Structure 1
Amino acid sequence: MDWLERIAALRQWARNGSRAPHKPLLLLYALGRFQEDADRGLRYTAVEQDLQRLLAEYGPPHKTTPAYPFHHLTSDGVWEVRTDRGPGSPGSGVRDLRETGATGRLTPDLRAALRREPDLLGRIARLLLDLHFPPSLHGELCEAVGLDLEPAEAERFAAARRRRDPRMRELVLTAYEYRCAFCGYDGRIGTVPVGLEAAHVRWWAFGGPDEIDNGLCLCSLHHKLFDKGVLGVGDDHRILVSQRFVGHSPAAREHVIALAGRPLVGPQPGASPVAAEHRDWHARQVFHGEPRPAAGV
């Protein structure tokens, strides 16, 4: 059995390119718990709050419940649920899962494979991360689910997936003249830029192309906030700041809240600005809540 193919083929609710990382988040959480204690099941009432936090922080902008993946992941052959009544999930209702003592765990075949192949857990985790989340979030997401991964080795299953264009970073940074499109930061050590990254507006994992009109040159801070849905880009190429963001320090006000309504820095004349289709995808699938009014309005 090819577990990587099975993981890559997880059935997910989808409409118009919508993000639905509910099952991947549950699986990453289960892998982290397996690493900690391979024999322990995950009782829904004990892990519900953890899963809810993961969905709130790394899931789509609209509200959802961890009961959905806890029940529906059983259809993919990698997850099983038992209740006080016996094997089988009682359904996707929160009340049903709570009142029946529902407990989930990886299937026996998958647990056996993870014990038999020491590197399989890391390969599955990296596949889930790569297919469903941008690289800027991989490290903190591993920490959030308690996964301890070895440094990534060359993936043997890469042939089945799109390959990234290695020129993307240089093209995007050049288009924006090596300045953060949000704050103008342009730090270097000698001639080498530091803390500047090429951000995909529409995530690569969701069909976003490695092209300048899907990229922004961002400093590390604003790249992370952009991928977390705190920041966005409006139809007029001005910066959006989510009303859900809260920060009272001078640094938070200066580096985030004060950006609301500012025009992007760049790109230089002749370079393609962010395409409307990619801005729209980010606004629907990543940006959280409503944008703040422009500073001073």
Structure 2
Amino acid sequence: MDWLERIAKLRQWSRSGTRAPHKPLLLLHALGRFQQDPDSGLRYSAVEEDLQRLLTEYGPPNKTTPAYPFHHLVSDGVWEVRTDSGHGSPGSGVRDLRETGATGRFAPELRTALRREPELLGRIARLLLDLHFPPSLHSDLCEAIGLELEPAEAERLATMRRQRDRRMRELVLTAYEYRCAFCGYDGRIGTVPVGLEAAHVRWWAFGGSDDVDNGLCLCSLHHKLFDKGVLGLDDGHRILVSQRFVGHSPAAREQVIALAGRPLIGPQPGVCPVAADHRAWHTNQVFHGTPRPATAA
């Protein structure tokens, strides 16, 4: 059985690029637990808080519950649920999962495959990360779930993934004249830019193109905060800063909070700015919370 193909084809609610990372987050959490103890299951009442925290931090802005993937993942053939009274999930209701002692774990055949092929766990994890999250969040997410991965395998599962355009980084950095579009940082070592990255506005994993009008040149800090939903863009190409972000140090105020309401730096004349549909996708699917009011100059 090709477990990678099955994982890549998880049934997920999807419409117009809507993010639904519930099942991938549950699977990643379960992989982390399996790595620590292959024989343990995930009792819903014991992991509900951890799963909810993952959904809040790495899921879309709308409210959701970890009960949904805990029950519905069974239909994908990679997960099973047992209760105190026997086999089978009691449904997707939070109360039902709590009160029946519902415990989930990988399907028996998948558990066997993971024991037989130790490298399979890492390949599944990397596939889930690549398909559902931007690279800037991979290490943070692995740390949050206690998942340890070996360095990336040479095989990149090209048959399951679109190929990225390697020219995008250079095109985007050139478009923004090698400056962070949020803060203006333009550090170099000699002639080589350092700490500058090409950020996808609409994530590549969700159909975002490698075109310049879907990119921003951002420093490493602001790229991470943009992908975490702390920073965003309004319709006037001004910077949004979420009220969820809290920082009392002068550095936090100057580097993040003070950005609220500032216009983007760039792109240079003649280059297409970020397209409206990509900005709207990021605002609806990534940006969290209410924007802070614009900071006085």
**Alignment TM-score, normalising by the size of structure 1:** 0.98
Q: Quick one: distance in 2 between partners of 1:102 and 1:260? A: 45
Q: Distance in 1 between matches of 2:248 and 2:87?
A: 50
Q: Does residue 1:72 correspond to 2:69, yes or no? A: no
Deviation at 1:156, TM superposition (A): 5.4
Name the structure 2 match of 1:127. Answer: 127
Structure 1: how far apart are the matches of 2:236 and 2:156? 43
* C-alpha deviation, 1:136, in angstroms: 0.1
Instruction: Give the match for residue 229 of structure 1.
Output: 229
For 1:36 and 1:48, the matched residues in 2 are separated by 19
Deviations 1:75-122 (A, max 9, x none): 100110000110000011110000000000001100100111121111
Rounded Cα–Cα distance in structure 2 between residues aligned with 1:241 and 1:81:
41
Matched, 1:170 2:167: no
Distance 1:283 1:13 in 2: 19
SS of equivalent residue, structure 2 residue 280: helix
Equivalents in 2 of 1:250, 1:93: separation in Å?
A: 45
Query: Counterpart of 2:63 in 1: which secondary structure?
Result: coil
| Residues 31-50 of structure 1: pairs in structure 2 closer than 5 A | 31-50=31-50
| Aligned residue number for residue 203 of structure 2 | 203
Local SS of the residue matching 2:47: helix
Match of 1:193 in 2: 193
Matched, 1:138 2:142: no
Runs of at least 4 residues off by over 6 Å: none
- SS at 2:218 equivalent: strand
SS class of match (1:29): helix
Report the AA paired with residue 135 of structure 1: P
Residue equivalent to 2:254: 254
Count of residue pairs the alignment pairs up: 297
- Deviations along 1:167-208, whole A, 9 cap, x unmatched? 010100010010000000001111111110000000000000
In structure 2, what is the equivalent of residue 83 of structure 1?
83
Deviation at 1:14, TM superposition (A): 1.5
Tell me whether 1:13 sits opposite 2:9 in the alignment: no
Match of 2:99 in 1: 99
CA-based RMSD of the aligned residues comes to 1.0
> Identity across aligned pairs (percent)?
84
Q: In structure 1, what is the equivalent of residue 3 of structure 2?
A: 3
State yes or no: 1:63 paired with 2:63: yes
* Alpha-carbon offset, residue 155 of structure 1: 2.6
Where 1:232 maps in the other structure, the secondary structure is strand
Letter in 2 for 1:116: R
- Alignment match, 2:271: 271
Residue aligning to 1:213: 213
Q: Which residue type is aligned with residue 109 of structure 1?
A: E
SS in 2 for 1:218: strand
Long gaps (5+) in structure 2 = none
| CA–CA distance in structure 2, aligned partners of residues 207 and 169 of structure 1 | 17
Secondary structure class of the residue paired with 2:294: coil
Matched to 2:241, the amino acid is: V
Quick one: distance in 1 between partners of 2:83 and 2:160? 38
